[in-house]
Each structure stands twice: as structure tokens, then as C-alpha cells.
Chains A and B, each alone.
Chain A
Amino acid sequence: MKNIIQNSEKEQWKDNVLSSLEDMKRTEAPPFLFTRIEARIRLYEMPTHLAANERVPVLKLAFGVACFVLLCGINIWIVSQTASPNTVQQYQTSSAQAAPILETADFDLY
């Protein structure tokens, strides 16, 4: 019985909350708001001003440039590594060092 009363009280409370916006009056917009809109229009119409969809965000631009520089850097590094005479010499040396080991391995059957 107590639960039923509590539930009906709760439902009543919810109805009160949901109906609280009924007959709500409109608020007046601040008096000088249109002056500010006009100021923004002036700014928009300035010849140097770009429309929002024409503007490139600085962060996006910086990110793009950084990606490009990183990609170029990696490419240059890889090309310089493969083309340098040191690498060729190193390769030759390492294969020459490997030869005696192979030879020994050939005779060392047991």
C-alpha cells in the first residue's frame, strides 16, 4: 500500500516536471545584438576576408606540411643508405667474412 502511494507520488512529480515548460514566455534577445551581427557582416565583407569554407585551418595545414616533410625525410634517408659506398663495402666485407666459416663448416662433418 505504502509503495503504491509512493509510486503515484513519484509519477505525479514526473508529470509536474514534464509540464513545467508549458506556457513558458519567450525571452527577449539582448537589445544590441543586431549591432554585433552588423559588425560581423562588415568583417565578412572585408576584401581580405575568406569565407569559412575557403579558409584552411592552420592546424590542418601544419599537420599536412609536417607529414610531407617526414615522408620526404624518410625517402631521402632510405635512398642515401642504399646508395652509399659504405653500405656496398660493408656488404662485401660481411660476405667475405662468412666464406671461411662456410669452408670450415664443409669439412667439419662430425
Chain B
Amino acid sequence: MENLQLIQKIAHGSEAALREVYGVFGNIVFNTALSYLRDRAEAEEITQDVFLEVYQSAKTFEGKSSVRTWIYRITVNKCLDKLRYLKRKKRFALVKSLFKPDTTEIQHDAEDFEHPGITLERQEYAKILFKALKRLPPQQRTAYILSFIEELPRKEVAEVMQLSVKAVESLLQRAKINLRSTLEKYYPDRRI
């Protein structure tokens, strides 16, 4: 069955149709969330949120973009919201720890996140890249993740981000420059 028909069925409350959509896009959503959040538990939560949102807003889906683009857009927005929330929470926990030094609430970043889909010999490099990606501004990070990790064509990235293809190209260009300058700091000093 076509994705659009499935969305129409979901709009009428069909959970079977939602299961089918999950079958097609579940892994895509989970992997995108994993690239943003670098934490399996958080990625699982985002996947749940995304499919709940699909179920709730299927009625409002007008079909102007493809179902895949729509689901990607929901995922990206949920991930960015979550990152903002985690940042706020971390800041609050830090302030709280000044008054209560024995608090264990400070959130630690998943600095040593190992993506399960990467080969062992590239794992060390990938860890550094994920660490550097975290430092990019949200739009550049989104463009980079969708283009180079999710391997979407530029046109689709532009649709997901609701920008022009040129704007996406420019974001990618800046992302690469910023990544290179961030990597400068992580370069291991081999003279020692």
C-alpha cells in the first residue's frame, strides 16, 4: 500500500496502518535520532514521540511533501527540541549542584558514544566526529546529518529543512569548515 494511503488510514484511527508505517520508517527515525542524541534510550524515546505525533497529526497532513520528508521533519524537530531541553536541564542541574554539592543530577554527555553501525577500525574516528558535530549550530548539524549520515539527496534535505537547495549547500560548506577547525583541537599530538 502507498504511504499516503497509509497516512489517510491512520487519520481514521487505524493502528494497523501505523504499524506498517513504523515498519517502513521506524529504523530511519531511530537512526536519525541516534545521530543527534548519541544515546540509545533517548533515541528510543524520540522514536516513540515521532510515531505518536504521526498518529495525532495524520489528519492535518496535506500531502504537499512526501510522507518520508514529513516524518524526517518531525524527527528533526523532536531531536532539536530534546537537545534544547537537555541543555536547559544540564544548566539547571549545574546551578543546583552549587547549592547542593552532593547532588547526582548533573547530566554527563555521551562523549564516548560508539555507533553500532560503524566498523571497528573507524570507531575511534567516528567518536571524534560525533563529538565535533555536537559543536555545530543546529541548522548546520541538521544539514550535515541528513546529507552525509542519512545520505538524503540535497533536494530532500532542503524540503525537510524548508530551505532552498542553495541554502543547504551553503550550510554544508560552513559545516565542513567549522568541523575542520573543531577537529584541529582534537588532533592528537604525535610528537610526544
Q: Contacts A21-B148, A41-B15: A29 and B52 contacting too (C-beta < 8 A)?
A: no
User: Which of B22, B55, B129 is in CB contact (< 8 Å) with A20?
Assistant: B129
Contact mask A49-79 → B, CB, 8 Å, 1/0? 0010000000000000000000000000000
Contacts of B51 in A (CB 8 A): 34, 37
Pair B27/A26 contact, Cβ less than 8 Å: yes
Contacts of B118 in A (CB 8 A): 20-21, 24-25
Pair B149/A24 contact, Cβ less than 8 Å: yes
User: Which of A13, A33, A41 is in CB contact (< 8 Å) with B55?
Assistant: A41
Q: Contacts A27-B117, A37-B22: A51 and B30 contacting too (C-beta < 8 A)?
A: no
Determine if A96 is an interface residue (Cβ-Cβ < 8 Å): no
Contact mask B100-127 → A, CB, 8 Å, 1/0? 0000000000000001111100100110
A-B contact count (CB 8 A): 91
Pair B117/A25 contact, Cβ less than 8 Å: yes
Contacts of A14 in B (CB 8 A): 180, 183-184, 187
Determine if B158 is an interface residue (Cβ-Cβ < 8 Å): no
Determine the distance from Cα of A60 to Cα of B40 in the docked complex, in whole angstroms. 32
Q: Which chain B residue lies CB-closest to A53? A: B56
Q: Contacts A21-B148, A38-B15: A16 and B116 contacting too (C-beta < 8 A)?
A: no
Contacts of B129 in A (CB 8 A): 17-18, 20-21
Q: Contacts A20-B122, A24-B115, A27-B34: A33 and B48 contacting too (C-beta < 8 A)?
A: yes
Determine the distance from Cα of A14 to Cα of B15 in the docked complex, in whole angstroms. 47
Pair A29/B117 contact, Cβ less than 8 Å: no
Determine the distance from Cα of A41 to Cα of B55 in the docked complex, in whole angstroms. 8
Contacts of A27 in B (CB 8 A): 27, 30-31, 34, 115-117
List B residues 166-192 near A (Cβ within 8 Å). Answer: 176, 179-180, 183-184, 186-187, 190
Contacts of B180 in A (CB 8 A): 14, 18
Determine if B140 is an interface residue (Cβ-Cβ < 8 Å): no
Q: How far is the CB of B37 from chain A (nearest CB, A)?
A: 13
Please indicate which of the listed interface residues A17, A34, A36 has the most CB atoms of chain B within 10 Å of its own CB: A17
Instruction: Report A's interface with B, CB cutoff 8 A.
Output: 9-10, 13-14, 16-18, 20-21, 23-30, 33-34, 36-38, 40-41, 44, 51
Instruction: Report B's interface with A, CB cutoff 8 A.
Output: 15, 18-19, 22, 26-31, 34, 40, 44, 47-48, 51-52, 55-56, 115-119, 122, 125-126, 128-129, 132, 148-149, 176, 179-180, 183-184, 186-187, 190
**Would you list 5 pairs from A and B whose C-beta atoms are within 8 A, ordered by A residue?**
A21-B149, A33-B47, A33-B48, A41-B55, A44-B56
